[in-house]
Amino acid sequence: MFGRGLRTLSIASVVLVTGAFALVFLYAPNDADQGFVQKIFYLHVPLAIVALGGFVAGGVFAIQYLRTGDRGYDLRSYVAIHLSLILGLGVLATGSIWAKASWGAWWVWDEPTLVSFLIVFLLFACYQPLRFSIDDPERQARYAAVFAIIGGAFVPLNFLAVRLASSLIHPRVLGTTGGSMPGEMRLTFLVSLVAMVCLFVTLWKYELASKHASMRLRRLKRALAGDDAAGPLARTSAPTQI
Amino acid sequence: MPALPLDDAGPYVAGAYLVFLALILIYVAIMASKLVRIERELVELSDLVEGRRAAAADEERDAERSEAVPR
């Protein structure tokens, strides 16, 4: 069910990510101001956009779960947030490397873009401990959905707040004027963004298929061998049933 | 701040892309280990089904044998 189209998506992801990296290093010109180090931009910014989009998607799936009661949406929300956290870690690491190369410091605390992303990341880092702290699967899913909706709504608000804040040293990429990137850079950025979205969707479906298969297998085991033979279910932060 | 020369910028760019690659590889490795666990459970399950099928066949054979023996 969740694995449908996974093969096509995997091939598309490999082709797009390889193509994007080829464009970054072979096609896009070096930035006049920052030089070669600006190549990190094509990785760091799409990663950040996709990670934040994943948090919002987690909130949207959580709304769907609360509306329908379908545990499949809880699983979708959980996996989207889990994957966004991993990408968020990548955003923080690549951002720090870029900051060190460009500004001479690994982190700048008075820069709203950096700190706001860290706040969003730390907020969602609490999602899994919250799930883990609740035993009852029904309550776990419901509380996690409420958390995901509030966290998901916080992302666009945060984005708006950063826009309204006075810009310090971190550049604003998505300007209202459409940005000031030359054609080659814009094309490379767009391909990198599409590649990252495709990679996210592929990994999301991959994990969904894996979790779904594991749940079905466990249910089958219980049905065949009886509850005692299947052993007690270990406490977990992941959804345990659909 | 002036642009870093290529020699100085190279390690930073390589570092950033390697971090991304490492994250994806670690993620895929963790998923692969979960896949191995699913496969192991699937083998256990098929052994269980095979065992039950063999036991049922033995019972059937015993029943047939006891019916065939003249009283």
Q: pLDDT tens digits, residue range A133-167?
A: 888 889 999 999 999 999 999 999 888 888 777 66
ipTM beyond 0.85?
Answer: no
- Cβ distance A37 to B45 less than 8 Å, yes or no, reads no
Q: Which has more pLDDT, A79 or A169?
A: A79
pTM for the full model?
0.85
B40 touches chain A (CB under 8 A): no
Contact between B10 and A36 using a beta-carbon 8 Å cutoff:
yes
B9 neighbourhood in chain A, CB within 8 Å: 35-37, 101
A74 and B CB contact within 8 Å: no
Q: Is the pLDDT of residue A4 over 90?
A: no
CB contact under 8 A, A100 and B12: yes
| pLDDT digits 0-9 by tens, A108-119 | 888 888 999 999
- A11: tokens are 């091939």
Q: Kindly state whether A218 is in contact with chain B, defined as any CB-CB distance less than 8 angstroms.
A: yes
State the Cα–Cα distance between residues A77 and A104, nearest whole angstrom.
38
pLDDT bin (cut points 50, 70, 90) of residue A172 is: low
Task: Say if residue A228's pLDDT is above 60.
Answer: no
> What pLDDT does A8 receive?
92
Going by pLDDT thresholds of 50, 70 and 90, the confidence category of residue A200 is very high
Write down the pLDDT at residue A92: 95
Ramachandran sector of residue A236 (left: φ over 0; alpha: ψ -120 to 50; beta: rest):
beta
Alpha carbon distance A29, A141 (integer Å) = 48
Mean pLDDT of A65-75: 92
- The whole-number pLDDT of residue A84 equals 96
Is B69 touching A (CB cutoff 8 A)? no
Which pLDDT value is given to residue A207?
A: 93
- Residue B7 pLDDT exceeds 80: no
Helix then strand count (H, E) for chain B reads 1, 0
Q: Kindly tell me if the per-residue pLDDT of A177 is higher than 80.
A: no
State whether residue B22 sits within 8 Å of chain A by CB.
no
Q: What percentage of chain A exceeds 90 in pLDDT?
A: 56
User: For the segment A17-50, what is each residue's pLDDT rounded down to a tens digit?
Assistant: 999 999 999 998 888 888 888 899 999 999 999 9
> What pLDDT is stored for residue B49 in this prediction?
85
Q: What is the DSSP letter of A31?
A: B
Cross-chain residue pair B49–A224, CB shorter than 8 Å? yes
Structure confidence at residue B4 (pLDDT): 66
Name residue, tokens 């690659």. B21
What are all long-range contacts of A128-133, with beta carbons under 8 Å and residues at least 24 apart? Answer: A128/A82, A128/A85, A128/A237, A129/A237, A131/A78, A131/A237, A131/A238, A132/A235, A132/A236, A132/A237
Does residue A212 have a pLDDT over 80? yes
Distances (CA, A) of B66 to A13, B52, B59, B71: 64, 21, 11, 10
All residues of chain A having their beta carbon less than 8 Å from the beta carbon of residue B38 are: 210, 213-214, 217
Query: What mean pLDDT, rounded, does chain A reach?
Result: 87
- Between A239 and B5, the more confident residue is A239
Residue B45 makes CB contacts below 8 A (sequence gap 6+) with A217, A220, A221, A224
Sign of CA dihedral A144, A150, A156, A161: negative
For residue A188, give both structure tokens: 């490379």
Whether A136 and chain B come into contact, CB under 8 Å, resolves to: no
> How far apart (Å, rounded) are the C-alpha atoms in residues A38 and A226?
59
Cβ neighbors of A216 (< 8 A, separation 6 or more) are: none
A residues 92-111 near B, CB within 8 Å? 93-94, 97-98, 100-104
Position B2 pLDDT exceeds 60: no
The pLDDT score that the predictor gives to residue B8 is 79
In this structure, which amino acid lies at residue B38? I
- The answer to whether residue A206 neighbours chain B at the CB level (below 8 Å) is yes
Average pLDDT estimate for B23-38: 92
Task: State the CB neighbour count (10 A cutoff) for residue A144.
Answer: 24
Is it the case that residue A55 has pLDDT exceeding 80? yes
Which has the higher per-residue pLDDT, A124 or A104? A124
For A89, list phi and psi in degrees, rounded to 5. Answer: -60, -40
